[in-house]
Amino acid sequence: MPHAAATPQMLRRVNAQAVLRHLRGADVATGTELMALTGLTRASVIAVCEDLIGRGWIVELDQPRAGHGMPPVPRKGRPARRFAFNREAGFVLGLDIGAATTTAAVADLRGTVIGRSSRSFRAADIPAQERIGVIDHACREALEAAGADPGRVLAVGAGVAAPVDRDGNVLVTQPFWSLFDVGLRSALKELHGWTVLLENDANLAALGERWRGSGAGVDDLVVLLAGERLGAGVMESGRLLHGRGGAAGEMGYLDMVEGVGSSDGIAALVRQWSAAGGGPSAGGPASAPRVFEDAAAGDTAALAILDRISERMARVIASIASLINPEQVVIGGAVAESAGALLPGITARLPRFTATPPRVTVSPLGDKIVTAGAIRHALDYVEANALELELAG
């Protein structure tokens, strides 16, 4: 089949995308540098830059000066024009929506978080409109903290604790999952005009970890959100796996895995096993951080709990390794800060359970891992659709 002829409009678009891509990855670039990076002529580079300046995506910088209060540095010939990506051309929102709380983070177009807010839901089974109201309140508070106008939000990435298919529809075959099927996309579109990209929270955790975590640049990556319940975000060859209904990475199959028996996460297991007689040596809540602290101090009961969790997590990770064969598995979520103590035990046990043991790490992103991925998801949308987006102001 013959290829369609390249039109001037198509070429301008391709050229503009190339220039934007390089400027997003650099602090400053001259016209000459952009020529070398894109292969375009000087006339094409300048024409594209003028257009992008007019649209608001880039800015032209003043010439560098020799020092404070000094005139520009003398140069032979015409000074090189210097261009930079306008990181404040708009903003994106990243949302982490759980059953009990929601967190909203505002970021500029380089992904730097400049405002954050969390709100709690009155109950897990509140009406959809009330849940939307709490989410909207968190968004508006985060925007106010950032000093960002809601009209300048270009995209919203939103992670929910339920499977989401490729079209952004929540799978509702389980009662818990149905809590998140509240019509969030249409509600925020109606309230603010925002484009909302709904995704599973573990999938967004994988995007965040690959972007700014211990899995940076890893193409075959699994991130385990391991707090109350286990959920996995799976990247294969650099792309997220969803499955037919978005349930790739759901961990219900662990009910049938010998030595595991449920998808309970590390925090839940600590409470269960502490209540059964292995709890902290002193009074107080049997939280994961407390038990990890007691284990570090040599407490026998706490050490026994860590040993049991290491064994169980090794079996979980081995089952993932046998099915998916990732290069790296990352333990993420709020428990990640403490879970480093589990790594030696997990790593030592893995060869017993799988012939393809992955590298196991803990995420440095803590409880911000989902909002980091949500921001990355929103930025990906903005970068892919920049020339169709109209910037406010």
Query: What are the pLDDT digits (tens) for 372-393?
Result: 999 999 999 999 999 999 898 6
Helix (H, G, I), strand (E, B) or coil at 243: coil
Split at pLDDT 50, 70, 90, the class of 275 is: confident
* Rounded mean pLDDT, 51-79: 74
Residue 170 predicted with pLDDT over 80? yes
Domains, the chain, ordered by start: 8-85 (1.10.10.10), 91-206+370-388 (3.30.420.40), 216-364 (3.30.420.40)
Cα(193)–Cα(198) distance, integer angstroms: 15
pLDDT of residue 393: 65
* Rounded mean pLDDT, 119-140: 96
Cα(93)–Cα(375) distance, integer angstroms: 6
Chain-centroid distance, C-alpha 159:
9
Q: What are the residue ranges of helices labelled H in the chain?
A: 8-24, 31-38, 42-55, 128-146, 175-178, 184-192, 201-212, 266-273, 288-296, 300-324, 336-339, 343-353, 369-384
* Rounded mean pLDDT, 114-138: 96
Residue 218 predicted with pLDDT over 60? yes
Q: Is 390 exposed, middle or buried (0-12, 13-18, 19+ CB in 10 A)?
A: exposed
Bridge partners, 72 (sequence order): 65
pLDDT of residue 289: 86
Residue 74 predicted with pLDDT over 90? no
Triad 309, 313, 315: Cα angle to 5°: 120
pLDDT of residue 37: 93
Residue 65 predicted with pLDDT over 80? no
pLDDT of residue 71: 55
How far apart, in Å, do the first and last CA atoms of the chain sit?
A: 44
Residue 2 predicted with pLDDT over 70? no
Residue scoring higher pLDDT (382 or 334): 382
pLDDT of residue 281: 47
Cα(11)–Cα(32) distance, integer angstroms: 20
pLDDT of residue 246: 96
What residues have CB less than 8 Å from 68, skipping those under 6 apart?
none
- CA distances, 150 to each of 140, 154, 194, 219, 290 (Å): 8, 9, 9, 34, 40
The rounded percent of the chain whose pLDDT value lies above 90 is 84
Is the Cβ–Cβ distance between 248 and 266 less than 8 Å?
Answer: no
